[in-house]
Copies of this chain bind each other. A is one copy, B any other.
Amino acid sequence: MKWSDPRCRPGGGAVPAPVLLFTPMVETELGRRVHESFARQGLMRSIGARLVDVEPGRVVIEVPYAGTLTQQNGFFHAAVSAAIGDTAGGYAAYTLMDPADDVLAVEFKINLLRPAVGERLTAEAVVLKEGRTLTVCQSTIRAHAGDRATTVAVMMQTNMRMRPS
């Protein structure tokens, strides 16, 4: 993926300088930490998912459409929405933790609002409540067709902080 690729930008086509969204993320300690962990996720790699934005308490993940990601009618499978929503939520929680901590999702709930039809799917996760043990996130999953984004699913998710023993 080129940094100039308009698909990098969650808001669509009008934002002029997408490079700036990325540079700080990868160049900070937090950005490196999240990217390294993400790169170890075989599933994220195999479905073609990419980290699009990482900041404290907020993570965006994107996955382009592929025939390997469909349900029986050719749309994105609900499990792809769940996969990127859950992963974005976990990393959104992780951005608020100590570098030595690890994060584990303990449950999530997803409402599938509309068929996920589009060229790509994004999940934007934000932290609703940061806790000493549990951090609750909300993910919004959108399908993008051209410049148009449609919310196709919403997720609530609970993450547990795992401290090094």
Contacts and interface: CB of A to CB of B under 8 A. Distances in A.
Interface of A: 37-38, 40-46, 66-74, 77-80, 82-83, 86-87, 102, 104-114, 128-129, 133-134, 136, 138, 151, 154, 156, 158, 160
Give the dominant DSSP class at A's interface. mixed
13 contacts: A40-B70, A41-B70, A41-B71, A41-B77, A42-B67, A42-B68, A45-B68, A78-B105, A79-B79, A82-B83, A111-B158, A128-B154, A138-B154
A138 B155 CA distance: 11
B72 A83 contact: no
A134 B158 CA distance: 11
A68 B82 contact: no
By Cβ-Cβ distance, the 3 closest A-B pairs, closest first, are A79-B83, A46-B68, A42-B70
Contacts of A38: 72
A108 B106 contact: no
Contacts of A102: 73
